[in-house]
Structure 1
Amino acid sequence: MNEDVESKQAVKIYKALGEPTRLKVAMILSREGEACCSTLGTKLETVADSTLSHHLKQLAESGLLDSRKEGTFIFYCLNREVAQKYAPFLLN
C-alpha cells in the first residue's frame, strides 16, 4: 500500500472511531469476536437499528470491520490486522 492510500485509510478509521457509538461498537466486537446488528443493538440499548446500520457501514467502509452473511443476518467482526495497525488500543 502506498503512503497516500494508507493516509486516506487512517483518516477514514480515525473519523469512524471519533464517533462515540462507533467506538463502542468496535470495542464490543473486539471483546466478543463477532455479532449481528440486533445483538449489537441490544448491547447499545439507546441506538435505533437504522442508526446502528449506518454506524456499521461507516466502520466497514473504513476497513475496520469485516462482515459475513448468514441467511438474513449479517455478522460483523473487527478486522484485527487493520486494528493492530491503526488502532491497537482496541485489542487490549
Structure 2
Amino acid sequence: IVRQLKSKGIGIIITDHNVRETLGVCDRAYILNEGNLLESGTPEEIARSPKAKKIYLGDGFRLDEGQWIKKEERKGSGKESPGPLFE
C-alpha cells in the first residue's frame, strides 16, 4: 500500500513503535519524546546514529541494508523527500 501511495505522489505519516518495520518503509524518520524532536534522518542515518541508539534504539541495534528500501527506490521522481515519512 505504501509503495502505491508513493507512486501517486501521496505522502503518509506513520507512528509506530516497531522500528525495524517503520525504517523499512520510510524516506525519513523522526524520534520524538514527549513532543520533542530528539533525532531525525534517513533510515540509514537513524540506524547508525549514536544519539538515536543511546536515546531510543539501544547500543546493540542493527539494521541490515536488506531491511530498508534502497535509496534508488526511495527517490521515485529523482527528488529526496524533505518531510514526512514516505516509503
- How does the TM-score come out when normalised to structure 1? 0.29
Structure with more of its chain in helix, by fraction: 1
Relative contact order, CA 8 A, sep 6+: which one is greater? 2
- How does the TM-score come out when normalised to structure 2? 0.30
